[in-house]
Amino acid sequence: MLKKWLWLSVLVIVLDQATKFLAETFLAMHEPVPVLPSFNLMLTYNTGAAFSFLAHAGGWQRWFFLSLGTAVSIGLIVWLQRLKPGEKWLAAALALILGGAVGNLIDRAWLGQVIDFIQLYYDRWYWPAFNIADSAITIGAVLLVLESLWSRNASSLKDPPA
């Protein structure tokens, strides 16, 4: 099942790295470029994890997140290899998460930080900046939860109460 879905992970990695390259090339650090209402492009860097978790930890977090991301990616590859042919939604979810994890791993390995450039806001409330890899991880995680709920509901419909 891995080979059938690896294209999705590779697509996420390529889009992520290409958009990060463009962001670094054309955007100035911390200077928002309005695109639509409540949506800016703005170059920033994150040495931490989601929502800048551990961003100011002193440098050790780079190696921690590299190790964690590598372990998670290996686990996702193994999981993808073990899927049955009919588990398409689960495969898509895992492939999206894998692509996002590897996209951010590339940044951490080469730069020691992750490039973020998408900024959403409402009025004076700003969501932390993120990137394509983060978006793929989020979409994959939502699909994973939904697939889990669907499969749980489907199995409870098949098994009559004792």
Catalytic residue numbers read: 116, 134
Exposed (0-12), middle (13-18) or buried (19+): which is 84, by Cβ within 10 Å? exposed
In sequence order, the 6+-apart residues with CB closer than 8 A to the CB of 99 are 8, 9, 10, 11, 12, 13, 16, 133, 136
In sequence order, the 6+-apart residues with CB closer than 8 A to the CB of 42 are 27, 30, 31, 32, 33, 117, 119, 129
Our CA angle for 8, 13, 18, nearest 5°, is 125
- Position 47: which residue type? T
Exposed (0-12), middle (13-18) or buried (19+): which is 86, by Cβ within 10 Å? exposed
- Roughly how many angstroms between the first and final C-alpha of the chain, as a whole number? 35
